[in-house]
Amino acid sequence: MNSDKFILVLAVIAALVSAISAGMLWGTASNIQRVMLDPGYADVEIIEDLGIQLDVDAIDWGAGVVEAGFSDAYLDTRTEGVTNWDTSVAGGQAPPQGDSGFIVENRGNVALDIRLDSDLAISGTAPCAGTTCWLEEGVSGPASLEYIVRTCSVAIGAEADNCDAIPAYGQAKHTDTDDLSASCTYVAPVASDTPRSVPINPANEHFCENFLSAGDRDELRIDFNLTLPSDILPTGGSPAQNTINVDVIKDDGVGWG
Amino acid sequence: MESDGDKISPMARSGGFLRTVSFVLFLMFSISFVSAGLGVRPPSYELNFQPGLESESEFGFYSDEPGAEFDVLLEGNLASYTTIDKPRINGSEIVTVTLKLPQALEPGLNRVFVVGRQVLKDQGRGAGVGARVSIYASVIVYVPYPGKYAEIGGFETWDANFGEEVQYSLEIFSRGEDDITASTEINVFDADGKGVAIYGLGTGMIPGQESTILRSTLDTSELDPGNYKAVATVNYPGNTQDPIKSEDDFRLGELVFNIVNTSAEVGRDGIFPFHIEVESLWNDPVEGVHADVLVVGTDISFPTPSANIPGFGKKRLTGYVDTSEIEMESFQVKVTLHYEGKTSEKIVNVSLKKKERNYTLIGLIIAVMLLALGFIIWTVLKLKKLERRGKKK
């Protein structure tokens, strides 16, 4: 008898649990049904993304002196080489092979405007005000850091790269290997063939607008040439390095204006 | 710039050891810069001015370089009305910008730039120059002009093929306090600047501080293939500014491919690549573009592989020419380009590369000859010496 009562209680509990479970299942199923019967829609909002990548962001010209017997050394990223630059002296250090100019890639989904300037004056008359000059002008004259930006119709790295024919140092080049179209509209007067001195902050040069984010047209290269007279000196109290500031803003027709 | 410079003056050489050491030391100082992908989402917000408005905006600065630091700076004419919740961020972080506008501002565009500027690190790399990227995000506040004032926010036209309609998009802003009733037209000019078509886009009302976008197509069936300039003009009663205009270029494509350039010279006595640069004047991609090349006056010919060329795109086709049977120093080549059942032809002059003297081999032969001559002279002298000794004995 006791055993029958126990089984009866167990059966009641089982029935209650089953009923509660069925109720919960029904609630869930009706929700699912509502979802299935409601008219569907997709809501996608694309967030604008201003993104940039510098694959090469430092130029290392090693350590050395202007080769004896020459008035200047030319440290040129366009040719990825140095001329009259003696790194065999005590303390010298050969520059790494293949150091190139800055390679800038638009990694976002909006077109960009780019401008650049330098933190320090490239060269000044002695005694240089240490906080503003990078190199101290010698008897032979000042140093110079120059660049040119222009569009190459044939990509760098491709055969017959027509950028190599430019008779000057420094330029912006496209790294595309297939599409021969331009990726950037260069802003006058930068688009001329004349070498441009890197402006000193707060002056700056807005050289590229509408730099596209399209997959095969989203890279450019900025090359530099540093000309060092034989008797140029680093300024006493200034930092050894010079920094090129690359400012980037969404190309919305207003820019920094 | 010549690669070999002038000889330096004694004065320039003076200074010697100290200067050399100084300079080497200078370049041995080490610097390094953060190399990273970085950016901001979104890059800008736009607001219409309200006196005393308080607004919060969030900018998500990001970097894929762990540990990369950025200073967050404020620039622009609204910087003094703006605060940020953090002056420096590490890696990817959200910066909250709080803008408390004054009761009045100059009409037009006012803004604050929120600048994420890389913090440079000293990590012991070689010296030179380095790049520091600054990402400029912005909050733009438009203050209404008194009365009526319109601006064109953007005007774009898209390339099409001959006979097709050209799509356009024109955004007009009413930046004044009052509504405007704008009538709009698009004038089209050919490559010589001659007006060839006018399209009236109608008249519509734009409430003050609002905008409208007109998107439709232009019927260009009367226009020839070529390059055109479209100029959008917005007029409205009460306009006190210069005419409001914006322009964009478009092309009407023609199913023609131009042979833009070819190799001017090829190597001799062997198989060498021959490049043909082609340009499409058609707006759509074309598949299977290839060329057949014939050396004029011979039976030497070769094809190039097929290529797919995008609309108005350029591409280089490369075939290989066997020059072992070409005896002329310069010759003509006929390039026949095949595309979509059509052909373009061009005859170009090509020359063989100049014979290069093998100076190493010549030098080696001369050296061997000199050695042989020296050996003979030495042998003769030796023999004579022995002969003299023999006679003495």
CATH number, domain of B124, equals 2.60.40.10
Same domain, B249 and B341: no
Considering CB atoms only, which of A54, A91, A96 is closest to B126?
A: A96
Given B253, B271, B288, the domain boundary residue is: B253
Q: Which residues of B touch A119 (CB under 8 A)?
A: 132
Which chain A residue is nearest to residue B14, measuring alpha carbons? A231
SS3 content of chain A, % helix, strand, coil (to 5): 15, 35, 50
* Interface with chain A: mutation pick from B95, B129, B249, B317, highest number of A CBs within 10 Å: B129
Q: Would B382 be classed as within a structural domain?
A: no
Q: How many CB pairs under 8 A join A and B?
A: 220
Q: Which of A53, A65, A179 sits opposite B20 (nearest CB)?
A: A65
pLDDT, tens digit (0-9, with 9 covering 90-100), for A16-35? 766 776 666 555 444 434 44
Q: Identify whether residues B248 and B264 lie together within a single domain.
A: no
Task: Check: CB of residue A62 under 8 Å from CB of residue B126.
Answer: yes
Among B17, B27, B44, B141, most A C-beta atoms within 10 A, so best to mutate, is B27
- Nearest chain A residue to B314, by CA: A180
Which of A168, A231, A241 has the CB atom closest to B31's CB atom?
A: A241
pLDDT of residue A145: 85
Pair B231, B318 in one domain? no
Distance from CA of A40 to the nearest CA of B (A): 28
The answer as to whether B33 is a domain residue is no
A125-134, A142-151, B213-222, B277-286: least confident range: A125-134
Rounded to a whole number of angstroms, the distance from the CA of B125 to the nearest CA of chain A is 8
Residues of A in contact with B173 (CB under 8 A): none
Neighbouring CB atoms inside 10 A of A157's CB total: 11
Q: What are the chain B neighbours of A58 within 8 Å (beta carbons)? A: 31-33, 35, 125, 128-131
Q: Is residue B89 part of a domain?
A: yes
B111 within domain boundaries: yes
Predicted confidence band at A93 (pLDDT cuts at 50, 70, 90)?
confident
DSSP letters spanning B216-255: EEE--TTSPSEEEEEEEEEE-TT--SS-EEEEEEEEEE-S
pLDDT tens by residue, B229-248: 999 999 999 898 888 999 99
Q: Which residue has the higher pLDDT, A137 or A247?
A: A247
Same domain, B244 and B322: no
Asked whether the beta carbons of residue A181 and residue B314 sit closer than 8 angstroms, the reply is yes
Stretch among A83-87, A158-162, B76-80 having the lowest mean pLDDT: A158-162
Does one domain contain both B222 and B282? no
CB contact under 8 A, B40 and A84: no
Tens-place pLDDT, residues B34-46: 456 899 999 999 9
B262 lies in the same domain as B325:
yes
Q: Does residue B24 lie within any of the structural domains?
A: no
Closest Cβ opposite residue B135 in set A48, A140, A248? A248
**A220 has a chain B CB within 8 A of its CB:** no
Instruction: State the Cα–Cα distance between residues A48 and A111, nearest whole angstrom.
Output: 10
Joined together, the tokens standing for residue B84 give 């940020």
Residue B64 within a domain:
yes
In sign, the C-alpha dihedral spanning A225, A230, A231, A234 is positive
Q: How sure is the predictor about A159, in pLDDT bands with cuts at 50, 70 and 90?
A: very low
Q: What per-residue confidence (pLDDT) applies to A162?
A: 40
Judged by DSSP in three states, B18 sits in: helix
> Which residues of chain B neighbour A108 with C-beta distances below 8 Å?
39, 43
pLDDT at A226: 85
ipTM rounded to 2 decimals: 0.72
Q: Report pLDDT for A213.
A: 81
| Cβ–Cβ < 8 Å for B293, B272 | no
Q: Residue B297 domain-assigned? A: yes
Q: For chain B, what is the domain count?
A: 3
CB pair distance less than 8 Å for B26 and A240: yes
Burial of B171 (0-12, 13-18, 19+ CB in 10 A): middle
Domain shared by B136 and B167, yes or no: no
Check A65 against B24: CB less than 8 A apart: yes
Residues B119 and B76 in one domain: yes
A95 in contact with chain B, both atoms CB, cutoff 8 A: yes
CB atoms within 10 A of CB B149: 24
> Do B28 and A91 count as a contact with CB atoms less than 8 A apart?
yes
H/E stretch holding B373: helix B359-392
Residue A163 pLDDT grade (very low, low, confident, very high; cuts 50, 70, 90): very low
Are residues A139 and B31, on separate chains, in Cβ contact within 8 Å?
no
Query: Mind telling me how many Å the CA of B195 is from chain A's nearest CA?
Result: 26
Which residues of chain B lie closer than 8 angstroms to A145, CB-CB? 129
| The predicted structure's pLDDT at residue A31 | 43
Set of chain A residues whose Cβ sits within 8 Å of the Cβ of B23: 64-65, 232-234
Range of the domain at B321: 257-352
Q: Nearest-CA distance from A20 to chain B in Å? A: 47
Among A48, A71, A243, the residue with its CB nearest the CB of B132 is A243
Question: What is the nearest CA distance from B196 to chain A, expressed in angstroms?
Answer: 27
Question: Is B366 part of a structural domain of the chain?
Answer: no
> Per 3-state DSSP, what percentage of chain B is helix, strand, and coil (rounded to 5)?
15, 50, 35
Q: Which of B232, B253, B274 is the last residue of a domain?
A: B253
Kindly tell me the sign of the dihedral angle through the C-alpha atoms of B49, B52, B53, B55: positive
Residues B278, B249 within the same domain: no
Same domain, B77 and B135: yes
Give the distance from residue A19's alpha carbon to the nearest chain B alpha carbon, in angstroms: 50
pLDDT at A126: 58
Confidence (pTM): 0.69
- The DSSP string of A40-108 is P-----PPP-EEEEEEE-EEE--B-EEPTT-SEEEEETTTTEEESEE--STT-BPPPTT--SEEEEE-S
A52 contacts on B by Cβ (under 8 Å): 37-39, 133, 135
Q: Kindly state whether residues B77 and B64 are assigned to the same domain.
A: yes
The fraction of chain A above a pLDDT of 90, given in percent, is: 7
Measured in angstroms, the CA of A25 and the nearest CA of chain B are apart by: 42
State which residues of chain B have pLDDT below 50. Answer: 1-22, 25-34, 123-127
Q: Of the candidates B73, B108, B143, which is a domain's last residue?
A: B143
Report the alpha-carbon distance of residue B248 to residue A149 in Å, rounded.
Answer: 24
Distance from CA of A59 to the nearest CA of B (A): 5
In this complex, the residue of A180, A233, A244 whose CB is nearest that of residue B23 is A233
Whether residues B168 and B248 share a domain: the answer is: yes
List, for residues A182-230, the tens digit of each pLDDT value.
Answer: 467 777 776 555 668 888 888 898 888 888 887 656 777 787 888 888 8
In A3-22, the residues whose Cβ lies within 8 Å of chain B are none
Q: How far is B275 from chain A (nearest CA, A)?
A: 9
